[in-house]
């Protein structure tokens, strides 16, 4: 008899059964009323909350993250599931539109009765991230939003926390079964090959991913190369530059330095929104504060692969001939590593964007001295797409041009706040131009994330009884309807 | 001196100037208030209406389409521009969302002040279609929606109507200049190479296309293979199957036959929504009516390339050993061709989906006899993604399963109406799973088409004066705002 451990890859036979089951489950799951799906999301959230005492120790053992952080992250994760329940009960996410027939429609031809609503895509493969073992993993935001939209989810576990992935999946599976949900609405798969095979399977209709640029790009290319290309929502990487104006640096340099250190070392720098670069005026108090700062103690990184990747990128960065060390603990390249702050100039950054604007996943950031504040706009222009970009300024300062550039470069622009910490809200935007994401029009955090996994269908000339409920005149679901262009 | 004719391809030098100019124009065009862009769309519409007497004769000469059709199409085109103006004045398209800071946010961490709005992508390359020289060409729906969203448009003219493309472009250019719009907001390019080069240029941020599957797929692949992949919205091809229930065939077979002939021969069958396949009960009156019908007279196709492509596909279809001729005029393969109706069985269609479900662009359709009505669901399942799918049924009939499958397969499902004629409305959906489009979540017709060319940006912690107007508490643009999740 073979033994299955937490890391045993899903076999081809198992995967085929999972794909068939997801395909089978798609229509009944899609047909559930949104409020019924909301109740199920609530039930999963309750089950995960109840399983916290089991799950958190597994997460601690597999990710080296501390208990307080993980219990906060679990809370965020179950909040997120319930928030999507709220979205479902509200119904605006369906974007229901009704055009009555109109013989006088000024287009020059009569308008038929047309009604449009967003419907689920079908089975979605989600590739979990390593750095948020709850919030961007098995029961994370991609899963929550794909489910809420009415799609079965095939979850490709991250190799960094296989035991936790199985335990979370087991909690979910029990909760779904208790709620009478068809088995195919959720399945866990393990192994790179199983994930890729699932993404290429014709029964799968979309993909979601959080992780590295090379990994995400490979999957994006795979999704697009299919005979039937499918939407792929990859959140890849980001440098998250911070631009400190001269006035702000003068007004509160020491405070900015201290807040910056808190932000770039949060979670040992293993956030996709870690501020990787900060622009400060030459000779500013910020530089001296940072040089003198006591950086946080070394923290063990998520796993050995992250550790070795971090050391590799940091070695390359610090050995760059235009980079010097501004501040670091005694063991910057050890395991665990002490945090590091590197220093360069704006001119050097502009001259070497490829090597100096790379994301370094871990407790390191690059401080960039600038001479003229008016150069900040050109410096901002030099960046690729970002998840976030931050301005640290003063009241009444002229930042319009910089804001314009940063809003083009990043999905979220911050003013006098720090990018780490991505609140789950209605107006959140976690995305951005490539390589921040592969899909510039979408977000992976916040209630708008549900739109990724929906597609519009119009019904023309239908009798009331055959229309989806959201499009019926009687509006039995009580969803917001746009009628003849009016809300 | 070199001479420039209507078909002279854009040179590399000209294209570089066009790209630079579009890049330059992006920020000022995006910064215009939506209502100001609406006024400009109106001005372009007025100019095109006024130029009708010049443009329509050129269109007639280049496309062989009749005057009445072309003047109706021009009216549709200018209506479309004005409808997007209405969308801009309404402002809901911005999806403005405001979350106030909330220290008690139940996620477990305080919620910052977050505000999210949709912003333009930047320069868009639009590839015009051949079959609607106004409505899906230079000033067509893609251009109108990309402009409305605030993006400069680089329009790759279709080789089928270069004179009309230049004349339309010239009308637009004069109207935009009169309105004080920066020159880079619109440019026409000619030639396959110029189009491809533009699509690959880093200053271009999205693409739109209407045309064939091979052409669209090649451009889609190009857009995705860029170092920075960009959204590409291709509307490619569709068979638009029609399913006639047994009861409907019995109730009004002759009427259905007559309406079907009107639909598949409309515009000489050169509509992307032409019903290419109709399923009818074996031995139904419809078959006899179609056999006896007098098909419309031959009509000249759009151009010689379309004509030769049509003859090629029709020859392949009619020589298929499972296909016979049901009805045709005397010259089905001549130029101009008389319309053709072919006949096969449901079993043969299922056995040869590749050869029998191909789109045949021109005045031909395939009539498919079925034995059991219960087979319609499996027949529907056998199709790839479609722009439309139609059920011709009777009141009170049980069609739920068929509707479920068709809503998964097609972007628009019709009941007792015909798919040709795509009304420009708020609830229209012109799109569908691949290969109907390369972007299943979008539409290329109707007001929702504007969403394709927008991306979300969130502003965190911003003072009021630095926020985009749509996100300010004072709401100077008076746009709909979702505040703390409530509308």
pLDDT tens, position by position, A348-377: 999 999 899 988 999 999 999 999 999 999
**pLDDT, position A87:** 98
**Is residue A385 within 8 angstroms of chain B, CB to CB?**
yes
Map residue A208 onto helix, strand or coil. Answer: strand
| Token pair in block for residue B454 | 């927008």
Question: Is a pLDDT exceeding 60 seen at residue A485?
Answer: yes
**pLDDT, position B1:** 43
What's the whole-number mean pLDDT along residues A260-275? 97
**Is residue B184 within 8 angstroms of chain A, CB to CB?**
no
| Token pair in block for residue A373 | 């504040």
Q: What is the CATH number of domain B12-236+439-483?
A: 3.40.605.10
- Asked: is A242-415 a CATH 1.10.490.10 domain? The reply is no
Choose the CATH number for A12-236+439-482 among 3.40.605.10, 3.40.190.10, 3.40.50.2020, 3.60.10.10. 3.40.605.10
| Token pair in block for residue B420 | 């040709």
**pLDDT, position B7:** 84
**pLDDT, position B466:** 96
Q: Which residue of B has its CA nearest to A452?
A: B441
pLDDT-flagged residues of chain B (< 50): 1-2
**Is residue B114 within 8 angstroms of chain A, CB to CB?**
yes
Å between A1 CA and nearest CA of chain B: 41
**Angle of helix B34-50 versus helix B141-148 axis, rounded to 10:** 150
**Is residue B214 within 8 angstroms of chain A, CB to CB?**
no
Interface of B with A in 4-63 (CB under 8 A): 27, 31
**pLDDT, position B3:** 60
Q: B423, A480: Cβ pair inside 8 Å?
A: no
Asked if B145 contacts B450 with a C-beta cutoff of 8 angstroms, the reply is yes
Q: What residues does each domain of chain B span?
A: 12-236+439-483, 242-415
| Chain A CB contacts of B31 below 8 Å | 404
**pLDDT, position A4:** 67
Whole-structure pTM over 0.90, yes or no?
yes
Question: Is a pLDDT exceeding 70 seen at residue A2?
Answer: no
Question: Is a pLDDT exceeding 80 seen at residue A69?
Answer: yes
| Chain A CB contacts of B107 below 8 Å | 75-76, 79-80, 423-424
- The pLDDT confidence band at residue A396, using thresholds 50, 70 and 90, is confident
What's the whole-number mean pLDDT along residues A275-301? 96
Question: Is a pLDDT exceeding 90 seen at residue A47?
Answer: yes
Q: Which residue of B has its CA nearest to A99?
A: B427
Interface of B with A in 217-256 (CB under 8 A): 220-221, 224, 228-231
Å between A283 CA and nearest CA of chain B: 27
- The pLDDT confidence band at residue A1, using thresholds 50, 70 and 90, is very low
| Chain B CB contacts of A86 below 8 Å | 485
A397 flagged as catalytic: no
Least confident window among A4-8, A323-327, B129-133: A4-8
- Tell me the sheet residues that pair with A208: A126, A233
| Chain A CB contacts of B425 below 8 Å | 99, 105, 111, 114
Helices (H), A284-371: 285-292, 304-318, 346-351, 353-356
Testing the interface with B: which of A460, A472, A480 to mutate, by most B Cβ within 10 A?
A: A460
Question: Is a pLDDT exceeding 60 seen at residue A212?
Answer: yes
What's the whole-number mean pLDDT along residues A50-75? 97
Q: Which residue of B has its CA nearest to A84?
A: B485
**Angle of helix B285-292 versus helix B246-265 axis, rounded to 10:** 30
Asked if B127 contacts B207 with a C-beta cutoff of 8 angstroms, the reply is yes
| Token pair in block for residue B453 | 């060319």
Neighbours of B258 (CB within 10 A): 15
**Is residue A428 within 8 angstroms of chain B, CB to CB?**
yes
**Angle of helix A162-178 versus helix A34-50 axis, rounded to 10:** 130
**pLDDT, position A395:** 87
**pLDDT, position A3:** 60
- The pLDDT confidence band at residue A5, using thresholds 50, 70 and 90, is confident
């Amino acid at each position: 008899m073979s033994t299955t451990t937490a890391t045993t890859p899903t076999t081809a036979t198992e995967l085929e059964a999972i794909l068939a089951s997801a395909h089978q489950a798609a229509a009944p799951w899609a047909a559930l009323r949104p409020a019924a799906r909301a109740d199920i999301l609530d039930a999963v959230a309750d089950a995960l909350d109840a399983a916290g005492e089991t799950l958190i120790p597994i997460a601690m053992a597999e990710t080296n993250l501390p208990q307080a952080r993980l219990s906060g992250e679990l809370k965020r994760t179950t909040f997120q599931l319930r928030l999507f329940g709220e979205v479902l009960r509200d119904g605006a996410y369906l974007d229901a539109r009704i055009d009555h027939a109109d013989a006088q429609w000024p287009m020059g031809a009569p308008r038929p009765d047309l009604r449009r609503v967003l419907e689920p895509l079908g089975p979605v493969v989600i590739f979990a991230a390593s750095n948020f073992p709850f919030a961007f993993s098995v029961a994370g935001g991609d899963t929550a939003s794909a489910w809420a939209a009415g799609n079965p989810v095939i979850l490709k576990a991250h190799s960094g926390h296989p035991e936790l992935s199985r335990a979370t999946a087991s909690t979910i599976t029990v909760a779904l079964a208790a709620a009478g949900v068809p088995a195919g609405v959720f399945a866990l798969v393990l192994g790179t090959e199983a994930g890729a095979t699932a993404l290429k399977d014709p029964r799968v209709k979309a993909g979601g991913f959080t992780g590295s640029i090379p990994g995400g790009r490979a999957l994006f290319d795979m999704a697009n190369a299919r005979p039937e290309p499918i939407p792929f929502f990859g959140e890849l990487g980001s440098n998250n530059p911070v631009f400190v104006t001269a006035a702000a640096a003068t007004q509160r340099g020491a405070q900015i330095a201290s807040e910056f250190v808190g932000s770039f070392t949060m979670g040992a720098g293993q956030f996709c929104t870690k501020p990787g670069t900060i622009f400060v005026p030459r000779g500013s108090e910020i530089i001296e504060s940072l040089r003198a700062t006591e950086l946080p103690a070394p923290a063990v990184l998520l796993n050995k692969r992250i550790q070795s990747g971090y050391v590799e990128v940091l070695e390359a960065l610090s050995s760059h001939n235009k980079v010097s060390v501004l501040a670091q603990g005694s063991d910057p390249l050890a395991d665990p590593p002490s945090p590091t702050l590197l220093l360069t100039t704006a001119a050097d950054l502009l001259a070497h964007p490829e090597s100096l604007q790379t994301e370094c996943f871990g407790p390191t950031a690059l401080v960039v001295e600038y001479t003229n504040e008016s150069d900040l706009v050109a410096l901002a222009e030099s960046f690729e797409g970002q998840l976030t970009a931050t301005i640290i300024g003063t009241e009444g300062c002229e930042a319009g041009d910089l804001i314009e550039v940063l809003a083009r470069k990043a999905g979220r622009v911050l003013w006098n706040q720090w990018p780490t910490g991505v609140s789950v809200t209605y107006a959140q935007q976690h995305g951005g131009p490539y390589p921040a994401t592969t899909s510039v029009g979408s977000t992976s955090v916040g209630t708008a994330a549900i739109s990724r996994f929906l597609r519009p269908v119009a019904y023309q000339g239908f009798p009331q009884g055959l229309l989806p409920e959201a499009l019926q005149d009687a509006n039995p679901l009580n969803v917001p309807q746009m009628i003849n262009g009016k809300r």
